[in-house]
Structures are given as C-alpha cells and as structure tokens.
Amino acid sequence: MLLFALTGQVPPILLVALAICLYLTVWDLWSEDLQFLYKAWWVTFVLVTHVFGYLVFRIWVAQRRRSADGRP
C-alpha cells in the first residue's frame, strides 16, 4: 500500500494480491476470540504492509494457536 501511495499507480496484479491478503486475514480473524480493536489493527496492518504484513499475521496466528494447544 505504501508503494501505491508513493507512486500513485496500482498494478492490477498487486491490487488483486492485496485483496486476497485482506480476505484471508478477515477469514482467519473471524474464528479468533479477540476484541474488535485487535482485529481492526491486524486488518489495517495487512492493508498498509501488504504481503509482508500478512506473513507476520500468519506467524502470529500460528504461535497463538500453538500456545493455546499447550505446546511450548
């Protein structure tokens, strides 16, 4: 998203990739028991940082689910 703001242009494939990342983020957050503020923060983070933000989000979800299962 930052690249889009700096250049003023949006290549269609990157816009589609951003939409997919946002959709997958919302899909994963739907099942998480979090306050709305945290969910909104993650969606905004992925919106601003694009694919990198989605990867960070997936790592966080994996760690959260792993610790919920009782694994170290």
Count structural domains, the chain.
1
Measure the CA–CA gap between 56 and 59, rounded to whole angstroms: 5
8 Å CB contact between 57 and 25:
yes
8 Å CB contact between 32 and 39:
yes
Is the pTM higher than 0.85?
no
- What is the per-residue pLDDT across 6-65, written as a single tens digit (0 to 9) for each? 777 878 888 888 899 999 999 999 988 899 999 999 999 998 888 889 999 999 999 988
Dump strand ranges (E) for 1-72: none
**What is the domain extent for residue 18?**
2-68
